């Protein structure tokens, strides 16, 4: 169990201590539920009341936070409490994984595979011929690394991940459980008799640096060339990225979104949950797409917000929704006018 003093934590997050600098914590807790020996934080004003009742030993708060009552906990003041707490969680996670080293048994590592220093290979992992793993790579149980896969430094791959042959993983990448990288793209050519002929998928998947991929996400290999996930991309759980798609730098995508084949998404795009993007389109940089939207055409304008199905710019889509909502009343008025016109015609 890892344990830190308030002094050590303040150094990690560049904070100022108010209270006992020697008090120690060994775990994290929500401010309304934390107990002695835990650290918490206050970022949302609606939870301020818990600051005066919490049993947490240390609480991270904003530098401008005004105290209305006496506080039992040791406080660490920082410019942004939420960001500081996130930094602390990241450092804690890194320290925990750094403790894992060596090769557990049973696991299989092909003779031609190359593994860098400070690695951890868990039991029941399978590393195929020609695979290359960099330094500080952590492979958890039941991970399968295919032939000639290249993995960079400081990569963590959680249980049950499968990376097919020839795929490339960059540095500082995290891949969560159940994710499949490099499975065949959905390529089938229709035949005259109504059946389908499979189109061989000969490409790969390239994942650049500082990418995080959620659980049970699937990224298909390209038919020819590469499916590309650019630097800094964050993918949620249960996302489908189809063959030859490209996701731009620092784009974030929420759960259950599907990106169809050969679609190119720009940099710094934000995509909500359950969004569908049709194939062979482009999405400009900085676009925001609301949850459950359906994007069927190329988006050429940068930094717009889209919503609806088919997706349109937010103001236009909201106006359309109002019109649709009013259709029953409009239909009723049209019917009344038709009756009135008919009556006037009969009198003429």
Which residues form the catalytic set? 243
Task: Tell me how many degrees the CA angle 331-332-335 measures, rounded to the nearest 5.
Answer: 85
CA angle 270, 280, 185 (to 5 degrees): 90
Sign of the alpha-carbon dihedral angle for 32, 35, 37, 38 = negative
Query: Rounded to the nearest 5 degrees, what angle is found at the Cα of 87, between the Cα atoms of 2 and 67?
Result: 95
Kindly report the backbone phi and psi dihedral angles of residue 86, in degrees, each rounded to the nearest multiple of 5, phi listed first: -60, -40
**Dist. CA 275–CA 255, nearest whole Å:** 9
CA–CA separation, 239 vs 233, rounded Å?
A: 13
CB 116 within 8 A of CB 153: yes
CB 169 within 8 A of CB 152: yes
**Tokens coding 143:** 């991970």
Question: Alpha-carbon distance 56 to 45, whole Å?
Answer: 18
Report the C-alpha gap between 131 and 110 in whole angstroms. 8
| Cα four-point dihedral sign 148, 149, 153, 157 | negative
């Amino acid at each position: 169990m890892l344990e830190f003093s308030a002094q050590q934590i303040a150094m990690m997050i560049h904070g100022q201590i108010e209270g006992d600098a020697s008090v120690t914590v060994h775990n994290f807790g929500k401010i309304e539920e934390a107990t002695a020996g835990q650290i918490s934080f206050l970022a949302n004003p609606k939870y301020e009341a818990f600051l005066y009742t919490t049993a947490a030993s240390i609480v991270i708060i904003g530098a401008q936070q005004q105290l209305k009552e006496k506080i039992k906990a040791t406080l660490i003041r920082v410019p942004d409490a939420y960001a500081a707490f996130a930094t602390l969680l990241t450092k804690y996670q890194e320290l925990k994984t750094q403790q894992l080293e060596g090769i557990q048994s049973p696991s299989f590592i092909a003779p031609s595979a190359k593994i860098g220093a400070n690695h951890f290979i868990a039991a029941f992992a399978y590393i195929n011929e020609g695979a290359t793993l960099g330094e500080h790579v952590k492979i958890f149980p039941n991970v399968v690394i295919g032939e000639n896969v290249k993995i960079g430094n400081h990569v963590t791959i959680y249980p049950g991940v499968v990376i097919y042959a020839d795929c490339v993983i960059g540095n500082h990448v995290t891949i969560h459980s159940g994710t499949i990288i490099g499975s065949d793209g959905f390529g089938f050519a229709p035949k005259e008799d109504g059946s389908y002929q499979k189109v061989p998928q000969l490409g790969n998947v390239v994942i650049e640096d500082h990418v995080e991929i959620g659980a049970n996400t699937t990224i298909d290999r390209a038919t020819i060339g590469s499916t590309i996930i650019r630097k800094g991309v964050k993918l949620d759980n249960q996302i489908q990225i189809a063959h030859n798609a490209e996701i731009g730098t620092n784009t974030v995508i929420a759960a259950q979104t599907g990106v169809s084949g050969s679609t190119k998404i720009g940099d710094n795009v934000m995509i909500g949950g359950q969004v569908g993007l049709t194939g062979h389109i482009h999405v400009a940089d900085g676009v925001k797409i609301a949850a459950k939207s359906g994007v069927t055409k190329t988006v050429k304008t940068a930094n717009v917000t889209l919503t609806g199905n088919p997706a349109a710019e937010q103001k236009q889509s909201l106006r359309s929704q109002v019109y649709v909502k009013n259709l029953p009343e409009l239909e009723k008025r049209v019917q009344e006018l038709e009756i009135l016109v008919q009556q006037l015609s009969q009198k003429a």
